[in-house]
């Protein structure tokens, strides 16, 4: 493989405290050197003037749907979509068919990703066998096969006893338990945020308190057991406050937020738009503002998409009958740049941290930095380039996005995995 | 989206002027129902499909009668609830209906937004005849018509709506309509049956029926369903009747000339006492009569909008 020299860009590498003009040399799949005026030698030179050169972005929460739901997405299409979106790695949730609750399924995903994946794929194993919430799955086997965390995502871990055991047992491997926080009894079949919009639409409400209760339970259990809990797709202001307080008390809790939860509110449901139906649901404006504040003050560790492809036929039904979830890879970086950085909420450095070193640390993977010697995964961003969301050009197999037609400023232009360019927006 | 959209999906989409126009038009149609030959050729040659996915004898009969009196060709298309994607999808059903080229589809469905879905996927004018706990616009229109008949106006009246507000499309459509026309609406339910944020619709909200009925010009009871008890919204019908039933004693708090309404079908002795339902203040049967005129008006006005668009 040829050397690649990214010249004259603004290098942002939060893990190493770098934010400034520099060149980055990639060689043999690794970061060789970061510094001023590196001489090209025999390298292919890419002029990155006016661009941001960052460690490869990581999306720590996607649903690739393979094995078993290939009509929605596959490892091939999902990772191609990730590459086109500026991500060099994704972590995929285990609610496949069969569930990724064993070494064999984890291996199947790892092998499929090696053969057909455009970006790195880190499987997340199920907490419980079959995601049934009854007995722990064989975590050790899955870790050996490449699992980086455990989650019953799609479902919460309902039993506090099982959650306790998961937080204890996972400490053997030093991996987090990622919880989808939803008290199913309280949600009681709710299909959108409970509030004035659900009341106006006659739709069954999914109350924010059902999320808050499980977040607080998980924090208490993490504190009690010393385990690491990671809160998936946090959507309420109250949950953010719980995490903020717990972090002050040194509880091992981390959390992520999705772009749709900081970009939209339940008003986006409009007149029963199933592309605005996801779990957890879009919340109130007060929640949205509280999440943005939590992103700004450091409470939120990562931005993750919860990329959840569903076939158009599945979404083209009555609102209550539609599956939860939207695709999120392509819109994640543009939404975050536009609504967080350009809007003055956070710095570039903080944005890069949310997408790189933080998710890498949570998952315990050696990535998310430009430290010489690490894999040459790089995301290059044009801070001002216009990005228009268009369903008809998406790389995902599915088109379920509420952002169709949005014009955003800032997007990735180059995605490099292991020193190889996997996407160039100008080609 | 108002009447000019060619659909009647909900009262939320209408403005006060349109509501009054429907009520005024209904008055002219009410006269037809008093003639010896109760039929006019207004909708001759037009096809109406009554698409009822949820059983409803009274609403469907009322629509059928309205269609017949307007000389429309109507046909009933019933389907058992295909909810949660078992059996044929709503989209396929919509396409099947569309292939019959109807001018109107009157739709009753258990899912909120199902009529909106049909409106997006076809050319027919959709009339929402009740979509789950969302809206039931013709019911609210006939209620308003009945109130106007008795009180001569709606503006400035105090209307108490008592019962299962949370699961009631009748309540929601009435709250929209009556507040748009200037009435003060008080919604009253056990707290377990009060939807969150209801006050943002511009009504008052209370769980005390005595407070709701105080000084009311109109008292509207809502049907309570037995299954609400088994799902824990209240402990027993007996207790519900005692706390929230509209009875003579409670009615004393309302104005002396207050009228009593109920969308039917009633649970006598539960949400409304038998003697109140049959009493001199009850206008419950007039509501049924007025339903036909109001539905004729809606069909007539929407036909006009279709002609304009054509
Ligand atoms: Zn989830």
Name chain A contacts of B111, Cβ cutoff 8 Å.
Answer: 318-321
Of B85, B117, B134, the CB nearest to A201: B134
First to last CA, chain A: 20
With a cut of 60, say whether residue B210 has pLDDT above it.
Answer: yes
Closest chain A residue to B85, measured at CA: A321
Q: How far apart (Å, rounded) are the C-alpha atoms in residues B16 and B117?
A: 25
Q: What angle do CA A358, A293, A275 make, to 5 degrees?
A: 80
Catalytic residues of A: 306
Report how far ligand 1's centroid is from the alpha carbon of A115 (Å).
27
Write out the residues of chain B at the interface with chain A, using a CB-CB cutoff of 8 A. Answer: 1, 12, 83-85, 89-91, 109, 111-114, 116-117, 131-135, 169, 172, 195-198, 200-201
Q: What averages of pLDDT result for each successive group of 10 residues across chain A (427 residues)?
A: 93 97 97 95 95 98 96 96 98 97 97 97 98 96 98 95 98 98 96 98 98 98 98 98 98 98 98 97 98 98 97 94 96 98 98 98 98 98 98 93 98 98 95
How many CB pairs (< 8 A) connect A and B?
76
Cβ contact A317–B85 (<8 Å) = yes
Task: Give the per-residue pLDDT at B83.
Answer: 44
Give the DSSP letter string of A110-153: HHHHHHH-SSEEEEEE-SBGGG-SSSB--HHHHHHHT--EEE-T
Please give the Cα distance from A89 to A59 (Å, whole number): 6
Residues in a beta bridge with A21: A10
CA of B197 vs chain A CAs: smallest distance (Å): 4
Mutation site for A-interface testing, chosen from B9, B132, B199 by largest number of A Cβ within 10 Å: B132
On whether the CB atoms of residues A305 and A259 are closer than 8 A, the answer is: yes
Please give the backbone phi and psi of residue A151, each rounded to the nearest 5 degrees, phi first: -160, 145
What DSSP element (H or E) covers A270?
none
Helix (H) or strand (E) holding A342: none
DSSP state string for B19-52: HHHHHHHHHHHHHHTTSSS----TTTT-EEEEEE
Query: Measured between CB atoms, which of B84, B111, B201 is closest to A200?
Result: B201
The pLDDT tens digits for A43-60 are 999 999 999 999 999 999
Residues of B in contact with A202 (CB under 8 A): 112, 131-135, 169, 172
- Find out whether A413 and A424 touch, Cβ atoms under 8 Å: yes
Instruction: Please give the pLDDT value at position B54.
Output: 83
Side-chain-side CA neighbours of residue B199 (13 Å): 4
Spell out the alpha helix ranges (H) of chain B: 16-32, 57-69, 90-99, 114-120, 137-151, 169-180, 209-213, 226-230, 237-244, 248-251, 274-277, 284-309
For residue B223, pLDDT beyond 70:
yes
pLDDT class for B87, splitting at 50, 70, 90? low
- Taking a C-beta distance cutoff of 8 angstroms, is the pair A29, A419 a contact? yes
In percent, the amount of chain B with pLDDT more than 70 equals 97
Is the CB of residue A410 less than 8 Å away from at least one CB of chain B?
Answer: no
Burial class, A403, CB count within 10 angstroms (exposed 0-12 / middle 13-18 / buried 19+): buried
Residue contact B201–A316, C-beta within 8 A: no
Inspect the interface and report whether the beta carbons of B85 and A201 lie closer than 8 Å: no
The closest of B166, B144, B136 to B259, measured between CA atoms, is B144
Q: What is the DSSP letter of A425?
A: T
The structure tokens 């719980």 sit at A242
Q: Using CA atoms, how far apart are residues A329 and A84, in angstroms rounded to an integer?
A: 9
With a cut of 60, say whether residue B86 has pLDDT above it. Answer: no
pLDDT band at B80 (very low <50, low <70, confident <90, very high): low
Shortest distance between the Cα of B37 and any Cα of chain A, in A, equals 41
Q: How far is the alpha carbon of B223 from chain A, nearest alpha carbon, in Å?
A: 17
> What pLDDT was estimated at residue A329?
97
Q: How far does residue A65's CA lie from ligand 1's centre (Å)?
A: 14
Residue to mutate among B117, B165, B173, with most A CBs inside 10 A, is: B117
Give me ligand 1 centre to Cα A155, in Å.
Answer: 7
Q: Is A199 on the interface with B (CB under 8 A)?
A: yes
Say yes or no to pLDDT of B263 above 50: yes
- Which structure tokens are listed for A325? 């979830």
Backbone angles phi, psi at B184, to 5 degrees: -95, 120
More confident residue, B230 or B250: B250
pLDDT digits (tens, 9 = 90+) for A155-194: 999 999 999 999 999 999 999 999 999 999 999 999 999 9
Cβ contact B131–A202 (<8 Å): yes
pLDDT of residue A426: 93
Q: Which residue of A has its CA nearest to B11?
A: A200
Nearest to B113 among A271, A313, A314 (CB): A271
A316 at the B interface (CB within 8 A)? yes
Chain A residues with CB under 8 Å of B200 CB are: 196, 199-200
Averaged over B127-151, what is the pLDDT?
97
The DSSP letter of residue A341 is I
Q: Is the peptide bond before A280 cis (omega within 30 degrees of 0)?
A: yes
pLDDT, one tens digit per residue, over A325-377 is 999 999 999 999 999 999 999 999 999 999 999 999 999 999 999 999 999 99
Closest-CA residue of chain A to B86: A321
Report CA(A196)–ligand 1 centroid distance (Å).
24
CB B70 within 8 Å of CB B43:
yes
- pLDDT, tens only, A24-37: 999 999 999 999 99
Spatial contact of A234 and A256, defined as CB atoms under 8 Å apart: yes
Work out the minimum CA distance from B47 to partner chain A, whole angstroms: 25
Please tell me whether residue A416 adopts helix, strand or coil conformation: strand
Residue A152 alpha carbon to ligand 1 centre in Å: 8
Q: A318 in contact with B at a CB cutoff of 8 Å? A: yes
Taking only the tens place, the pLDDT of each residue in B156-209 is 999 999 999 999 999 999 999 999 999 999 999 999 999 999 999 999 999 999
- Please list every residue in chain A whose beta carbon sits closer than 8 Å to the beta carbon of residue B169: 202
Query: What's the complex ipTM?
Result: 0.94
Residue B230 in this model has a pLDDT that exceeds 80: no
What whole-number distance in Å separates Cα of residue A32 and Cα of residue A5? 10
Span from the CA of A279 to the centroid of ligand 1 (angstroms): 6
Contacts of B264 (CB under 8 A, 6+ apart): B58, B223, B284, B287, B288
- What pLDDT, on a 0 to 100 scale, did the predictor assign at position B85? 44
Cα–Cα distance measured from residue B177 to residue B156, given in angstroms and rounded to the nearest whole number: 13
Q: Which residues in chain A are closer than 8 Å to B109, comparing Cβ atoms?
A: 318
pLDDT at B226: 76
Sequence length of chain B is 310
Instruction: Flag whether residue A208 sits within 8 Å of chain B, measured between CB atoms.
Output: no
Q: Report which of A425, A338, A411 is spatially closest to residue A57, judged by C-alpha positions.
A: A411
> Given B84, B89, B169, which is nearest A202 (Cβ)?
B169
| pLDDT above 60: residue B82 | no
Q: Specify whether the backbone of A272 is left (phi greater than 0), alpha (psi in -120 to 50) or beta.
A: left
Two tokens, residue B290: 């007025």
The answer to whether the beta carbons of residues A112 and A124 sit under 8 Å apart is no
Instruction: Report pLDDT for B79.
Output: 75
Report which of B115, B118, B114, B77 is spatially closest to residue B94, judged by C-alpha positions.
B118
Taking an 8 Å cut-off on Cβ atoms, the answer to whether B113 and A194 are in contact is: no
- Under 8 Å CB-to-CB from A236, ≥6 apart: which residues? A208, A211, A212, A215, A280, A283, A287, A290
Contact A202 B197 (CB under 8 A): no
């Amino acid at each position: 493989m040829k050397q690649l020299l990214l010249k004259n860009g603004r290098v942002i590498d939060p893990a190493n405290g770098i934010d400034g003009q520099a060149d980055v040399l990639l060689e043999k799949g690794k970061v060789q050197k970061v510094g001023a005026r590196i001489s090209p030698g025999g390298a292919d030179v890419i002029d990155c003037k006016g661009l941001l050169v960052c460690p490869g972005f990581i999306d720590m929460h996607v649903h690739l749907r393979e094995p078993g739901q290939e009509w929605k997405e596959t490892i091939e299409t999902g990772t191609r979509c990730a590459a086109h979106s500026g991500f060099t790695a994704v972590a995929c949730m285990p609610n496949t068919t069969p569930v990724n609750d064993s070494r064999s399924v984890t291996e199947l995903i790892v092998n499929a990703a090696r053969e057909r994946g455009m970006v790195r794929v880190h499987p997340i194993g199920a907490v419980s066998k079959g995601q049934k919430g009854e007995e722990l799955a064989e975590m050790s086997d899955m870790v050996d096969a490449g699992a980086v965390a455990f989650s019953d995502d799609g479902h919460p871990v309902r039993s506090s006893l099982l959650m306790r055991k998961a937080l204890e047992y996972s400490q053997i491997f030093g991996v987090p338990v990622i919880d989808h926080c939803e008290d199913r009894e309280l949600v009681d079949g709710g299909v959108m945020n409970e509030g004035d919009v659900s009341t106006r639409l006659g739709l069954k409400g999914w109350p924010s308190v059902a999320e808050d209760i499980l977040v607080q339970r998980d924090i208490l259990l993490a504190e009690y057991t010393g385990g690491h809990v990671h809160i998936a797709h946090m959507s309420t202001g109250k949950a953010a406050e719980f995490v903020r307080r717990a972090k002050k008390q040194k509880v091992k809790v981390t959390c992520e937020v999705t772009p749709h939860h900081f970009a939209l509110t339940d008003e986006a449901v409009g007149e029963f738009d199933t592309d605005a139906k996801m779990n957890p649901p879009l919340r109130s404006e007060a929640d949205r503002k509280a999440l943005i504040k939590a992103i700004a003050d450091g409470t939120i560790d990562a931005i993750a998409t919860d990329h959840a492809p569903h076939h158009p036929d599945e979404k083209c039904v009555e609102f209550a009958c539609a599956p939860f979830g939207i695709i999120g890879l392509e819109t994640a970086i543009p939404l975050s740049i536009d609504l967080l950085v350009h809007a003055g909420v956070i710095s570039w450095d903080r944005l890069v941290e949310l997408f790189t070193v933080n998710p890498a640390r949570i998952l315990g993977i050696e990535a998310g930095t430009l430290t010489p010697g690490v894999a040459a995964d790089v995301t290059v961003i044009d801070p001002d380039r216009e990005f228009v969301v268009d369903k008809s050009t998406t790389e995902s197999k599915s088109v379920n996005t509420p952002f169709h037609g949005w014009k955003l400023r800032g997007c990735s232009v180059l995605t490099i995995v292991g020193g190889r360019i996997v996407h160039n927006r100008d080609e | 989206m108002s009447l000019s959209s060619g659909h009647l999906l909900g009262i939320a989409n209408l403005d006060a002027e349109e509501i009054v126009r429907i009520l005024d038009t209904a008055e002219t149609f009410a006269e037809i129902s008093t003639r010896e030959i109760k039929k006019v050729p207004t909708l001759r040659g037009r096809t109406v499909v009554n698409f009822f996915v949820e059983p409803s004898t009274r609403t469907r009969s009322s629509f059928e009668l309205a269609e017949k009196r307007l000389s429309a060709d109507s046909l009933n298309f019933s389907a058992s609830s295909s909810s949660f994607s078992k059996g044929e999808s709503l989209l396929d059903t919509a396409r099947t209906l569309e292939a019959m080229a109807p001018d109107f589809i009157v739709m009753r469905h258990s899912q909120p937004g199902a009529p909106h879905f049909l409106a997006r996927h076809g050319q027919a004018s959709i009339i929402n005849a009740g979509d789950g706990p969302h809206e039931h616009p013709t019911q609210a229109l006939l209620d308003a018509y009945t109130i106007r008949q008795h009180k001569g106006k709606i503006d400035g009246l105090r209307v108490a709506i008592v019962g299962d507000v949370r699961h009631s499309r009748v309540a929601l459509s009435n709250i929209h309509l009556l507040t748009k026309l200037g009435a003060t609406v008080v919604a009253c339910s056990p707290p377990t049956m009060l939807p969150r944020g209801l006050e943002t619709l511009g009504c008052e909200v209370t769980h005390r029926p005595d407070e709701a009925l105080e000084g009311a010009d109109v008292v509207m009871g809502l049907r309570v369903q037995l299954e609400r008890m088994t799902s824990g919204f209240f402990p027993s019908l007996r207790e519900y009747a005692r706390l929230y039933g509209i009875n003579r004693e409670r009615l004393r708090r309302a104005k002396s000339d207050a009228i009593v309404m109920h969308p039917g079908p009633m649970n006598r002795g539960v949400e409304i006492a038998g003697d109140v339902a049959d009493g001199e203040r009850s206008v419950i049967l007039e509501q049924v009569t007025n339903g036909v005129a109001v539905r004729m008006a809606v069909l007539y006005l929407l036909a006009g909008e279709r002609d304009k668009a054509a």
